[in-house]
Amino acid sequence: MLAYVSGFVYHFSEDPSIVRFVPHVPRSNPTQAPAVWGIDGDHAPLYWFPRDCPRVTAWARNDTERAEFHRAFCTAADRFHAIEVGWLQAMQATTLYGYTVDASFFRPWSEASGQWISESIIEPVHVDPVGALLERHADAAIELRIVPSLWPVHDLAVAERWDFSIVRLSNAHAPQPSRSG
Can you give the pLDDT at residue 29?
A: 83
Is 118 a domain residue? yes
Alpha-carbon distance of 2 to 69, in angstroms, equals 28
Q: Is residue 105 part of a domain?
A: yes
Closest CA to 47 of 12, 5, 15, 16: 12
Whether the pLDDT of residue 4 is over 70: the answer is no
Is 149 within 8 Å of 176 (Cβ atoms)? Answer: no
pLDDT for position 180: 59
Q: Which residue has the higher pLDDT, 6 or 71?
A: 71
Per-residue model confidence as pLDDT tens digits over 34-44: 999 999 999 99
Say if 176 falls within a structural domain. no
Grade residue 2 by pLDDT with cuts at 50, 70 and 90: low
Report if residue 175 sits inside a domain: no
Sorting pLDDT into bands at 50, 70 and 90, what band is 178? confident
Residues 135, 46: contact at Cβ < 8 Å?
no
Prediction pTM value: 0.91
Q: Which domain holds residue 59?
A: 8-26+33-170
The total domain count for the chain is 1
In 3D space, the residue among 23, 2, 16 whose CA is nearest the CA of residue 117 turns out to be 23
